[in-house]
Structure 1
């Protein structure tokens, strides 16, 4: 009798939806070489290994768990045919397709399929692939927040209602987010990473610390329930707000669990929709969260494959500066700008911060200074617990750094200190003033904004959304001083 096909699950394919039955034989591989390829955040390495080993322990004899230097070394020990759901990176996809005896299935873990996106893209044309249009199609395809053929509440997108500044109290009055408890597997992972680091086999950025995010399906489901019950109701209004003393605010913190495959995105958005239909959360909160998951997350996944290998090398603004050591090394203590210091500290200590600090503090600063977008993309991939190649490609290259010249956004996400002051409390007690362009109190974001426009005036001349700012550029009497000051600034 022929051996049954065994399902090979990568470390980001750990949920039951990657299997075709509860008794299906499974292959799990822990490759030491993966951690040598990049200098990952210590807590990211811990989370991935913990999740993989927890899954092996849960499956018991159902799983063949192989620890080896490389995937190829591990596969040499495996007998019988294998199937694998499409991996999440091009390198892994190329590798599994090159193997004999491995049948590659369509990818899982997303709300919409690749065919759905490609059919939509063919109708739209590459110059019209806007997330908002894709999101509306995904709503129709899934039936989420739909009343017949019309969007619930009469509007597709309630984003304009979800831009409230943070409360003056300095934090939201919410219970703390769900945090799992570590166990013996976590202790084993920590000891193994300590030993590998001591022997010089691996090197990390960031600090170790108690595991903050789910490593099992049960933990992920508890985190989802906690979010829907306690945090989703206020998610919408403060979705874009930032607070120095409340880095989590109303955000779900489920991205790491989703990207490990511990949660199916459809169960997350169905839970949010159910809470709205039962009157437990406002529509703008449910819609805002659902848009992030089946709109933005799926859109990032599909554009990663659709735009091809060359997309990650796009550099429309000719940004070539290397990341400074203080940023690459998460050196938060020597940064004087309160916003950037606070967010870098969050990344250093937890490997996570929500999407607005990523875009408007970290990404905005790199965009203003002309940092190499591919290098910044790699930094985000390595330093965030939810960072993967497919996640960061369009998020950083396209949205954050405008390096694709506007294929997915209509303007660069550059903003000065006024935006940060309006949407956060970071500017309170900061050594810089958000209104100052020059001098010792010059805000590096305010001055950096005008330096960015000055440096890229010709490249952005045809962009109608930024045309008013470009017209104002030459009305600034001290522009040369601003540019010289920011060009010489070594750290903010």
Structure 2
């Protein structure tokens, strides 16, 4: 089989296929699941999406189930030549470039070429790049959400209207329900295969594999996009940073896994959101918040992954080396007393997803305060989330969440005490700990962790104008030693 095009499992949309009738190769490599202990729902989603895509391609595709990609490609094409779109990880790029007669084509599924980003980054100093500068440049360059030369609504950034705490006593946001797919025979087959792998092949997973919650086909992904834009986008902005125990989805789009599988193209998501604003169906703050997530943050993370290179993963500016505890790695939410952490960990265990603020300010914040090894934390996020890929999590976790790059990507470490979680959620209600307490039996793990982190890294924080206030606050505490003693309680087990 010569002249075939190879599709990876995150290149499943029509924009990844070359030619109307060119033959296609797809490879299910079990070694991927042996190397990492993925969330079961993630494994299910990826395999379901691949097998659905193969069914759509029909006779055009040779679908191989093999132990490794090398073995699968050899079985599919022999010595034939193949093309492949630029893969989404450094490891996959090394693989395809090591294979004979494989031509790597430019990447798809993103808004900007690597060359264009590199030119922009080099022009802006290269060492310390800021997402806000990149985002504004992207908006101008793509003529995205613009009124002539000015940003829509007169502001580049509508965060002032998009950081509302949840309505008090609401319980849920009462937003229209998100799109939910229906499982079919392909999902049934996938679930049976995963059961067999665990039973017979020694492949292990974490988390639960309930009914599939995320699109596995292009048709499902488009339906999910339409439902979000028509019924949920208008309410997205104000509470996008808020958290509710009984409403983990709120008005979020739930489209990240579809984008990262290649089922949706970011340009079509942005166009749909902008049309909603221009047609008067969604306010500018909600649309701008959504546009920022895709054209700003998602694109920025993708580009930084390649710009910084594979050595970026070895960064550990804070010298954090504590191992990831077993209860966290196993998603053992029932072992956790702290309501916020237990609730969010249960969401990950049950669905493989939670939105960006629980990821950053509950999960990542706790890991940062405890001084866990950033490489282990990054790997955990990669394995545990349905939308997690190396390119996604390396900058997001290593750079932003764990500050392991020393500020190449963000201007400060993202850590906060219990007061932030209390203000932005209902997760502190009925908790065994009090967000205001930093000592004693009811001391909040996040509050003690915040002050312990400030004490441990006071020299770094004092030299940063965005964090110097934490050091001044630390100096005003009269019980620092007692706070540090209280904080060490969480090193022995889950909070």
TM over 0.5: same fold? yes
Q: Give the corresponding residue for 2:286.
A: 285
Q: Give the corresponding residue for 1:174.
A: 175
* Distance (whole Å) between structure 2 residues aligned to residue 111 and residue 138 of structure 1: 9
Deviation, 1:66, is 1.1
User: Structure 1: which 5+ runs fail to align?
Assistant: none
Is 2:489 the counterpart of 1:491? Answer: no
Deviation, 1:200, is 4.2
Q: TM-score, normalised by structure 2?
A: 0.97
Name which of structure 1's ranges 141-150 and 420-429 shifts more when overlaid on structure 2.
141-150
The aligned runs of 1:366-445 (5 Å cut-off) are 366-445=367-446
Q: Give the corresponding residue for 2:53.
A: 55
The aligned runs of 1:35-184 (5 Å cut-off) are 35-79=33-77, 80-168=80-168, 169-184=170-185
* Distance (whole Å) between structure 2 residues aligned to residue 226 and residue 303 of structure 1: 31
Name which of structure 1's ranges 360-369 and 451-460 shifts more when overlaid on structure 2.
451-460
Q: Give the corresponding residue for 2:3.
A: 5
Deviation, 1:136, is 1.0
Name which of structure 1's ranges 386-395 and 138-147 shifts more when overlaid on structure 2.
138-147
Summarize deviations over 1:343-384 as a string: whole Å, max 9, x none: 000000000000000000000001111111110000000000
Summarize deviations over 1:281-307 as a string: whole Å, max 9, x none: 000111100110011001111111111
* 1:8 and 1:26 in contact (8 A); partners too: yes
Deviation, 1:387, is 0.3
The aligned runs of 1:17-32 (5 Å cut-off) are 17-32=15-30
Q: Give the corresponding residue for 2:327.
A: 326
Aligned-partner SS, 1:8: strand
* Distance (whole Å) between structure 2 residues aligned to residue 458 and residue 151 of structure 1: 39
Deviation, 1:72, is 0.6
* CA-atom RMSD in angstroms: 1.1
Q: Give the corresponding residue for 2:301.
A: 300
Summarize deviations over 1:90-132 as a string: whole Å, max 9, x none: 1110111111111101111001111121011110112331011
Q: Give the corresponding residue for 2:476.
A: 475
* 2:134 and 2:296 in contact (8 A); partners too: yes
Name which of structure 1's ranges 330-339 and 123-132 shifts more when overlaid on structure 2.
123-132
* Distance (whole Å) between structure 2 residues aligned to residue 23 and residue 4 of structure 1: 13
Deviation, 1:421, is 0.6
Q: Give the corresponding residue for 2:451.
A: 450
Aligned-partner SS, 1:231: helix
* Distance (whole Å) between structure 2 residues aligned to residue 439 and residue 337 of structure 1: 15
* Distance (whole Å) between structure 1 residues aligned to residue 298 and residue 453 of structure 2: 28
* Distance (whole Å) between structure 1 residues aligned to residue 281 and residue 404 of structure 2: 41
Deviation, 1:23, is 2.4
* 2:461 and 2:470 in contact (8 A); partners too: no
Q: Give the corresponding residue for 1:33.
A: 31
Would you say how many aligned residue pairs link Structure 1 and Structure 2? 490
* Distance (whole Å) between structure 1 residues aligned to residue 230 and residue 171 of structure 2: 22
* Distance (whole Å) between structure 1 residues aligned to residue 113 and residue 156 of structure 2: 21
* Distance (whole Å) between structure 2 residues aligned to residue 142 and residue 22 of structure 1: 28
Name which of structure 1's ranges 95-104 and 456-465 shifts more when overlaid on structure 2.
456-465
Deviation, 1:487, is 1.6
Summarize deviations over 1:11-33 as a string: whole Å, max 9, x none: 00000011233323211111111
User: Which runs of 4 or more aligned residues in structure 1 lie more than 3 Å from their structure 2 counterparts after TM superposition?
Assistant: none
* Distance (whole Å) between structure 2 residues aligned to residue 233 and residue 341 of structure 1: 30
Name which of structure 1's ranges 287-296 and 150-159 shifts more when overlaid on structure 2.
150-159
* Distance (whole Å) between structure 2 residues aligned to residue 218 and residue 24 of structure 1: 22
Summarize deviations over 1:107-164 as a string: whole Å, max 9, x none: 1100111112101111011233101111111112211101222211221111121000
Aligned-partner SS, 1:459: helix
* Distance (whole Å) between structure 2 residues aligned to residue 200 and residue 69 of structure 1: 11
Deviation, 1:488, is 2.9
The aligned runs of 1:175-254 (5 Å cut-off) are 175-254=176-255
* Distance (whole Å) between structure 1 residues aligned to residue 136 and residue 113 of structure 2: 15
* Distance (whole Å) between structure 1 residues aligned to residue 19 and residue 99 of structure 2: 24
* Distance (whole Å) between structure 1 residues aligned to residue 228 and residue 20 of structure 2: 27
Aligned-partner SS, 1:65: strand
User: Structure 2: which 5+ runs fail to align?
Assistant: none
Deviation, 1:428, is 0.9
Q: Give the corresponding residue for 2:346.
A: 345
* Distance (whole Å) between structure 2 residues aligned to residue 182 and residue 201 of structure 1: 26
Name which of structure 1's ranges 217-226 and 480-489 shifts more when overlaid on structure 2.
480-489
* 1:317 and 1:459 in contact (8 A); partners too: no
